[in-house]
Amino acid sequence: MHKYETRTIAPVTSVKGEIVVPGDKSISHRSIMFASLAKGESRVVGLLRGEDCMSTLKIFQAMGVEVEERGEDELIIQGRGIDGLLEPDDVLDCGNSGTTMRLMSGILAAQPFYSVMTGDQYLRKRPMGRVIDPLREMGAKILGRDGNKKAPLTIDGGGLKPAEYHSPVSSAQVKSALLLAGMQIEGTTTVYEPHLSRDHSERMLCYFGAEVESFDGGARVTGPVVLEGREVFVPGDISSAAFFLVAGLIVPDSELLLKNVGVNPTRSGIIDILQQMGGSIELLNQRELSGEPVADLLVKSSQLKGIEIGGELVPRAIDEFPVVSVAAAFAEGVTTIRDAKELRVKETDRIAAMCDTLGKIGAQIEPLEDGMRVTGGKSLSGGTVNSFGDHRIAMSMAVAALRASGEVTIEDTGCTSTSFPNFWELLENIRS
């Protein structure tokens, strides 16, 4: 459970400098999971030490995986192989992390032992039926509270058969859960999704030596796979970089260089959205790191304009809509976000949360059933807002505060350690 803190952010005249954002959260989770399930030693460099990834790490340690922590962001993991995990002797705590709970459901459903997972007050409200239902179709003995819809979850692992599943949502957590169950058993498991969600599991499983096929409408694995220990370099998190991209665009006379950011096309929707809005963002020094594309991002202040966002762009920027709504508040004209109902089942209802918080300091923002409509150009005032305990709401409001006319006090900011432990320090460093 994060600490309760309150922070006050004063407006700035410009932001400048070079920033290295912490490691990608999705890739960090997967590096811990796959290194633990691999045979032999793995080295993970650039790991995000956010609370969500620490929840994943503690879960594998509770199943007998030995981990040596080297410095701030490096781990040496002694993998136990797919059939080497031990039955945990206590409840596994996923904290605030949906990724941990949903991906672990797939892993644990195929393990020949009993396990129980829970999480914090926010995670226990989030929908787990989306992984429980298809895993049960595969034969999993998995139960959850509220008619098998919510955590805590109990899993009596083993006895699975492969599946072909058409997911109604474009969710990498659902897709990954089924691939991680399917890869442990004999046969082929295929997951189809409406639009392609992030493909980090597919890429990293291939990097660890498995054969996983990724295609436009989903992914496929034939098990059982054998994973071999590897060296993984985790790129910077584009979802964390997004706050500084928007800060660099909306604050006048600004220029920021964000080094070493993951730009996987299934994650880079935020760059497309901000460029379509007229934002100046250049991708420099493009390269590949452990199977993932990476670049340095140069962002300069720009006059933004409102646009319409929906369809395949939505899963490619799913965690960035709180900060997109901030960019939209400083754009000329109207920005409409549609097809984004998923925002209602994140750590908070992010549509309601942004309408409340941004609206409180003067933005013209209205909720839609599946998104929001923001009319830009209204000047923002100082005031007091609440993050609702959601890291991305807290950081989005800190970015908005940089361009408000007075100080903005944000209540409940400790939650930022979920995904971005040094956010406030980096925000302080770019003020000028």
Ligand X SMILES: O=C(O)C1=C[C@@H](OP(=O)(O)O)[C@@H](O)[C@H](O)C1
Task: Tell me the binding residues for phosphoenolpyruvate.
Answer: 25, 98, 126, 173, 350, 392
Q: Per the residue annotation, which of 93, 199, 296, 319 is the catalytic one?
A: 319
Residue pointed to by tokens 């962001």 = 73
Q: Which does 419 bind (CB under 5 to 8 A by kind): ligand X, ligand PEP, none?
A: ligand PEP
Contact assessment for residue 34 and residue 205, using Cβ atoms and an 8 Å cutoff: yes
**Rounded CA separation 168/154 (Å):** 24
Looking at beta carbons, which residue is closest to ligand PEP?
Answer: 98
Contact assessment for residue 52 and residue 99, using Cβ atoms and an 8 Å cutoff: yes
Q: Which does 392 bind (CB under 5 to 8 A by kind): ligand PEP, ligand X, none?
A: ligand PEP
**For residues 80 and 316, which CB has a smaller minimum distance to ligand PEP in the complex?**
316
Note whether 419 binds ligand PEP by CB under 6 A.
Answer: yes
32 phi, psi to nearest 5 deg: -65, -45
**Rounded CA separation 400/341 (Å):** 23
Note whether 171 binds ligand X by CB under 6 A.
Answer: yes
Note whether 271 binds ligand X by CB under 6 A.
Answer: no
How many residues in the shown chain lie near ligand PEP by CB under 6 A? 10
Note whether 96 binds ligand X by CB under 6 A.
Answer: no
Stretch that binds ligand X, among 15-23, 80-88, 168-176, 299-307 (CB under 6 A): 168-176
Q: Would you list which residues are annotated within the binding site for 3-phosphoshikimate?
A: 25-26, 30, 171, 173, 319, 346
319 an active-site residue? yes
Note whether 105 binds ligand PEP by CB under 6 A.
Answer: no
Q: Minimum CB separation from ligand X for residue 220, in Å? A: 17
**For residues 153 and 402, which CB has a smaller minimum distance to ligand X in the complex?**
153
**For residues 98 and 248, which CB has a smaller minimum distance to ligand PEP in the complex?**
98
**Rounded CA separation 219/115 (Å):** 27
Note whether 351 binds ligand X by CB under 6 A.
Answer: no
Task: Count Cβ atoms below 10 Å from residue 117 Cβ, excluding itself.
Answer: 25
Q: Which does 198 bind (CB under 5 to 8 A by kind): ligand X, ligand PEP, none?
A: ligand X
Note whether 173 binds ligand X by CB under 6 A.
Answer: yes
- Considering only residues 150, 198, 267, 403, which one is a binding residue for ligand X as defined by CB under 6 A? 198
Note whether 28 binds ligand PEP by CB under 6 A.
Answer: no
Q: Which does 172 bind (CB under 5 to 8 A by kind): ligand X, ligand PEP, none?
A: ligand X
Residue pointed to by tokens 């899993």 = 155
Question: Helical H runs in 213-349?
Answer: 238-250, 269-276, 321-329
**Rounded CA separation 396/326 (Å):** 7
**For residues 96 and 301, which CB has a smaller minimum distance to ligand X in the complex?**
96
Note whether 99 binds ligand X by CB under 6 A.
Answer: yes
Note whether 97 binds ligand PEP by CB under 6 A.
Answer: yes
Provide the b/e sequence for 356-378 (b: ≥16 CB within 10 Å).
bbbbbbbbebebeebbbbbbbee
Dihedral Cα 41, 42, 48, 51, nearest 10 deg = -30
Note whether 176 binds ligand PEP by CB under 6 A.
Answer: no
Pick out residues in 292-321 that bind ligand PEP (CB under 6 A): 319
276-283 contact pairs (CB < 8 A, 24+): 276/307, 277/304, 277/305, 277/306, 277/307, 277/327, 277/328, 277/331, 277/335, 278/302, 278/303, 278/304, 278/305, 278/331, 279/245, 279/249, 279/304, 279/327, 280/249, 281/245, 281/249
**Rounded CA separation 216/130 (Å):** 21
Note whether 99 binds ligand PEP by CB under 6 A.
Answer: yes
Note whether 392 binds ligand PEP by CB under 6 A.
Answer: yes
Beta strands in 160-211 (DSSP E): 164-166, 187-192
Of the candidates 97, 46, 87, the residue with the CA atom closest to the CA atom of residue 70: 46
Residues forming the site for ligand X (CB under 6 A): 26, 99, 171-173, 176, 197-198, 318-319, 342
Residues forming the site for ligand PEP (CB under 6 A): 25, 52, 97-99, 319, 346-347, 392, 419
Catalytic positions are 319
